[in-house]
Amino acid sequence: MPGSGLILGIETSCDETAAAVVERGARTISSVVASQISTHSRYGGVVPELASREHLRAIVPVVRAALGEANVTLADLDAIAVTSGPGLAGALLTGITYAKALAYARNLPLIAVNHLEGHIHAVLLHEREKEKSELAPYGAGQGPSGSLDAQSLALVVSGGHTHLYLARPAHGAWHYTLIGRTVDDAAGEAFDKVAKLLGLGYPGGPWMDALAAHGNAHAVPFTFAQIKPKVHLGGKPPRTKAAKTAPIAHLDPRFLFSFSGIKTAVLRYFELHNLRPEAESRREALFTGPDAPAQPTAEAALATCDPLTLDLIASFQHAVIGDLMKKTFAAAEALGAARILVTGGVAANRELRARFSAESARRGLGIAFPTLALSTDNAAMIAAAAWPRFKNNEFAPPGLTADPSLALGQ
């Protein structure tokens, strides 16, 4: 019944159609994610037109499933929340149009949520669930534990983003300041491109994660150069797809990321060691050939990798995580953040979790991740992020539309 604090979240920003019911930003009642991996995997990346079409197909059954699993009807909801950006325009529009229609038809308030804020709330939601919060409303000093409301440094690291934010709660709302970001590719995008080059599946992160454990992480000495944005970009916002959502001129260069260089270094190693024939036969054995299995596994991929390839994968992953750590911990120290939140698809990586956790413990800093299921795109994080907005009566205007390059914070 209305007043019970139930929000239906809808997320369609990229290649996952997701819906979830979350209670007061603190308890996931249901979370349904329909992945489009099988649609896009043969292209080695997301095809925007196909993504929109798949969202159109999936949105009604996914929302129904989320309500069904939660054992509620639309009449039980207090609000509907939807991702309004950043993301693919057509994909976002499917979710927004559906959410608007539903809200209008049921006379429910509609809340627009930034996808990146959603990722940050995936961590907060998990923490509230862990603490078995008694559904306390949150805001400064009101949260179920002091640590939940501390000023945090959030690293959002996914296929579309590698952004550092300072996140702090005040007056019942969360406030974000952009501290750093990638000037070109996102870290997840680099994982995906290297995996594609090596004939592995899409998305590449989980394949690389599984195979990296079998290689020598110190075999290939990848390095990251210090970025000088003013020289490099003339102080202008970067133009790449992944880097459109905010200008960088005012950011401290120590907290800027760049993953295009390591991609080139990987390609050089790949060519130098003549790994292309092996990658091509791997792609055929696992995905495109007549004997390719219906569901290729990392074990099957491992059997096709020689030690040079495994060393390349392990060294690449080790170097990317090392760079993410270096800049995140430097920013946390410079800003005096009490703890670190790491979220987004790449936060599912096992080596990343282990190394970030060990370094935080060494420095006496708090650290938190979402559950594995809520690391990648989902709608529970959107419903959770909407709760403080619902409490503050911050509703979407009737003319809400998709904003593919929506920025978060200043």
How many angstroms separate the CA atoms of 265 and 222, rounded? 7
Q: Which is nearer to Zn ion, 127 or 377 (CB)?
A: 377
Binding region for Zn ion (CB under 5 A) out of 127-135, 150-158, 279-287, 402-410: 150-158
Which residues contribute to the site for ligand KG4 (CB under 6 A)? 14, 158-160, 188, 191-192, 203-206, 209, 344-346, 348-349, 376-377
Binder of Zn ion out of 377, 380, 385, 390 (CB under 5 A)? 377
Contact 160, 174 (CB under 8 A): no
Give ∠ CA 382-117-46 in degrees, rounded to 5: 75
Q: Which is nearer to ligand KG4, 212 or 227 (CB)?
A: 212
SS3 (DSSP) at 22: strand
H/E element holding 23? strand 16-23
How many angstroms separate the CA atoms of 403 and 407, rounded? 9
3-state secondary structure string across 222-267: CCCCCCCHHHHHCCCCCCCHHHCCCCCCCCCHHHCECCHHHHHHHH
Shortest gap between Cβ of 5 and ligand KG4 (angstroms)?
A: 26
Shortest gap between Cβ of 94 and Zn ion (angstroms)?
A: 16
Taking CB within 5 to 8 Å according to partner kind, which of ligand KG4, Zn ion, none is near residue 369? none
31 binds Zn ion (CB under 5 A): no
Shortest gap between Cβ of 109 and ligand KG4 (angstroms)?
A: 26
Shortest gap between Cβ of 125 and ligand KG4 (angstroms)?
A: 15
Q: Which is nearer to ligand KG4, 158 or 182 (CB)?
A: 158
36 binds Zn ion (CB under 5 A): no
Shortest gap between Cβ of 352 and ligand KG4 (angstroms)?
A: 7
Q: Which is nearer to ligand KG4, 315 or 349 (CB)?
A: 349
How many angstroms separate the CA atoms of 368 and 154, rounded? 9
162 binds Zn ion (CB under 5 A): no
Q: Which is nearer to Zn ion, 80 or 381 (CB)?
A: 381
Shortest gap between Cβ of 72 and ligand KG4 (angstroms)?
A: 26
How many angstroms separate the CA atoms of 28 and 292, rounded? 38
| DSSP class of 218 | T
The β-bridge partners of 89 are none
Taking CB within 5 to 8 Å according to partner kind, which of ligand KG4, Zn ion, none is near residue 192? ligand KG4
Tokens 């974000």 belong to residue: 176
Binder of Zn ion out of 30, 158, 317, 328 (CB under 5 A)? 158
Q: Under rule CB under 5 A, how many of the chain's residues touch Zn ion?
A: 2
Taking CB within 5 to 8 Å according to partner kind, which of Zn ion, ligand KG4, none is near residue 245? none
* Other beta carbons within 10 Å of 280: 12
Parallel/antiparallel/unpaired status of strands 6-11 and 152-157: unpaired
Q: Which is nearer to ligand KG4, 191 or 257 (CB)?
A: 191
Shortest gap between Cβ of 188 and ligand KG4 (angstroms)?
A: 3
Taking CB within 5 to 8 Å according to partner kind, which of ligand KG4, Zn ion, none is near residue 188? ligand KG4
* Other beta carbons within 10 Å of 292: 14
Shortest gap between Cβ of 141 and ligand KG4 (angstroms)?
A: 31
366: burial class by Cβ within 10 Å (0-12, 13-18, 19+)? middle
Taking CB within 5 to 8 Å according to partner kind, which of ligand KG4, Zn ion, none is near residue 203? ligand KG4
Contact 86, 404 (CB under 8 A): yes
The β-bridge partners of 334 are none
Helices 260-272 + 187-197 axis angle, to 10: 20
Give ∠ CA 79-384-404 in degrees, rounded to 5: 85
Please report, for residues 212, 224, 234, 315, the alpha-carbon distance to residue 220 in angstroms, rounded to integers and kept in the order given.
Answer: 13, 13, 32, 6
H/E element holding 163? strand 162-170
Shortest gap between Cβ of 142 and Zn ion (angstroms)?
A: 28
Binding region for Zn ion (CB under 5 A) out of 176-184, 260-268, 273-281, 374-382: 374-382
Q: Which is nearer to ligand KG4, 149 or 192 (CB)?
A: 192
Q: Which is nearer to ligand KG4, 180 or 345 (CB)?
A: 345
Q: Which is nearer to ligand KG4, 232 or 326 (CB)?
A: 326
Taking CB within 5 to 8 Å according to partner kind, which of ligand KG4, Zn ion, none is near residue 376? ligand KG4
Residues lying near Zn ion in the complex (CB under 5 A): 158, 377
